[in-house]
Amino acid sequence: MKTYRAMVLVSNDPLSIERGSQQVYTKLTEEIAAYGLQDEISLSMVSDIGRHDAAPLVIVYPDAVIYGPIAPENVHTLVEEHLYKGRVVAGLQAPLKEMTGRIAWLSARKGTLPAEQRIVLERAGLIDPESIEDYIIHDGYAALGKVLGEMKPADVISELEKSGLRGRGGAGFPTGTKWKFVSKADGAQKYVICNADESEPGTFKDRLILEGDPHSIIEAMTIAAYAVGASEGYIYIRGEYTLAQERMHRAIIKAEEMGFLGDQIFGTDFSFNLHIHSGAGAYICGEETALIESIEGKPGIPRARPPFPTTHGLWGKPTLVNNVETLANVPAILRRGAAWYHSFGTPSSPGTKVYTMLGNVNVTGVVEVPMGITLREIIAIYAKGMKKGSSFKLAQTGGSSGSVIPSSLQDTPMDFDSFSKAGVSLGSGALLICDEDTCVVDLAKVLLNFFRVESCGKCNPCRIGTQRAFEILTTITEGQATLNDLDTLLELSSNLAMMSNCGLGQTAGTPLVDILKYFRAEVEAHIRLKVCPAGVCTMKPHVHPEEKVHQHA
């Protein structure tokens, strides 16, 4: 994503539109172009800024200057003085008011434009992914050389622990701790696996890493193997990712030819061989034990745990399983140090996070930003606001299994601990952003339909629970449910979380709990009033039980 000198946000709530914000936006576009600033200034509209006393508002970021009310005739002066000459136009500023609540982030980040800070994607789009020479020119394999030449396995794990890197696949487990578990496990044969079975709906960040910077994963896995004492590794890639598989295959061959893989790497006694295993379209294989079963040639069905893969993994041997994004952080950390990594993000969740942005926003795609940024910032700055001036209603943060985030939580820092304290989860980083035309019941129905289809069927709570929840949601969308059905949904969610064998069933009830916590009135409207407030669900006329019997007769 392009980095700009400044960003200009124009309020686009209903009051601002009524007072001419669309005309102000059009005039800003013209004036910015007239001064030749279109490559330096990012312009977008944003709803729900939080100050309606001086609408329409124009915010210049990162200066945190709020102008308003702004009319089209004010725009020329604003652009010439502030954006071109760098002087605040005091006469156009909004009345002084403490920036709290919805726009507190403007004050908190004053003077720092939150441009993308790339660690994971630092080379993606900049190098030829099929050229190992390009990778080497951009510090590629420098971390591996440093590790094998200067560090003991315990030193590598210690540095990773100091960095505070946590798993980016969704769980957020400390990466260094997992590496230590495998390193201390008994066994002459150990394995390293990269989980690239990216099947979570709406998630495509791992694909971008694999296709844009394949050698970073090879380097990271080789470092991991050295640290934990493994000699063999597997990259389990989603079957539909054919280009990623092709590029990884060619990258492995090139790495072997140049001595970065295979026997006696960098002239040391350390050897490591890497293989690619293609997935077969099963969502459940994103669960690490089902993935291991699949590599072994068995049906992709999760194992009972404990024992865990760290001690009893692939073919019963100690196995390290890490997500693509997690591994992509490793070379930079080992090359630049744990202290450098802590300069990004928050104290408890250092580093960056890669998000995929989808839904009712003006710009979709992938963005890498520091941990701790807020959902409001991502929508306003990187997604360029909601489509057609609509209002933000909710977001899912981790694909189908992610939490449903209401507008009241969009100023919560997006890091593992802050989200956990708020009662939601960060998940894998797939941001499905929805406006007021989204029906929460219909959304939950779609999600539960996905889970019931993708359930492997091994355990009853998941197989039966997801099906029953889908059936109840269907009756709600048809106006045929009762309030007692909501209690049943919560009971099903609880049973799924406590009794399911793996993460699919354990998180399947998350959207149910969230919609009943944050949007219960909307759900009850379907039942009490036989109305879908969003106008999505088609209510069926109620038929009395006696009439049904008569019809069948």
Q: DSSP string covering 152-214, please?
A: -HHHHHHHHHHHT-B-TTTT--BHHHHHHHHHHS--S--EEEEEE---STT--HHHHHHHH-H
For CATH 3.40.50.11540, the residue range(s) in the chain are: 132-341
Q: Say which CATH topology domain 6-108 has.
A: Glutaredoxin (3.40.30)
| Candidate from 101-115, 206-220, 434-448 with smallest mean pLDDT | 101-115
**Most distant CA pair in the chain: distance in Å?**
85
Pairing of strands 430-435, 392-396: antiparallel
Half-sphere exposure of 536 (CA within 13 A, CB side): 19
Q: Does domain 352-435 have CATH number 3.30.700.30?
A: no
Q: Say which CATH topology domain 440-528 has.
A: de novo design (two linked rop proteins) (1.20.1440)
Mean pLDDT of 59-86: 89
Can you give the pTM of this predicted structure?
A: 0.82
Q: d(Cα 373, Cα 370) in Å, to the nearest integer?
A: 6
For CATH 1.20.1440.230, the residue range(s) in the chain are: 440-528
For residue 296, how many other CB atoms are within 10 A of its CB? 10
342-362 exposure pattern, b = at least 16 Cβ within 10 A, e = fewer: eebbbeebbbbbbbbbbbbbe
Task: Look at residue 47 in the predicted model and tell me its pLDDT.
Answer: 65
* Residue 379 DSSP symbol: I
Q: d(Cα 181, Cα 170) in Å, to the nearest integer?
A: 19
Task: Look at residue 382 in the predicted model and tell me its pLDDT.
Answer: 82
3-state class of 20 per DSSP?
coil
Task: Look at residue 50 in the predicted model and tell me its pLDDT.
Answer: 56
Beta bridge partners of 433: 359, 395
Task: Look at residue 112 in the predicted model and tell me its pLDDT.
Answer: 43
Task: Look at residue 397 in the predicted model and tell me its pLDDT.
Answer: 87
- Whether residue 2 is predicted with pLDDT greater than 70 in this model: the reply is no
- Whether residue 175 is predicted with pLDDT greater than 60 in this model: the reply is yes
Mean pLDDT of 314-339: 96
Mean pLDDT score across all residues of the chain = 88
Contacts of 370 by beta carbon, 8 Å cutoff, 6+ apart: 114, 117, 344, 345, 351, 352, 353
Task: Look at residue 96 in the predicted model and tell me its pLDDT.
Answer: 59
For CATH 3.10.20.600, the residue range(s) in the chain are: 352-435
Task: Look at residue 311 in the predicted model and tell me its pLDDT.
Answer: 96
Nearest residue to 415 via CA among 486, 350, 362: 350
| Candidate from 1-5, 114-118, 133-137, 529-533 with smallest mean pLDDT | 114-118
- Whether residue 424 is predicted with pLDDT greater than 70 in this model: the reply is yes
Q: What is the pLDDT of residues 224-280, one digit of tens each?
A: 999 999 999 999 999 899 999 999 999 999 999 999 999 999 989 999 999 999 998
Cis peptide before 545 (omega within 30 of 0): no
Half-sphere exposure of 391 (CA within 13 A, CB side): 15
Dihedral sign for Cα 497, 486, 510, 301, please: positive
Q: Say which CATH topology domain 132-341 has.
A: Rossmann fold (3.40.50)
- Whether residue 332 is predicted with pLDDT greater than 50 in this model: the reply is yes
Q: d(Cα 457, Cα 500) in Å, to the nearest integer?
A: 10
For CATH 3.40.30.10, the residue range(s) in the chain are: 6-108
Task: Look at residue 406 in the predicted model and tell me its pLDDT.
Answer: 93
Mean pLDDT of 131-155: 95
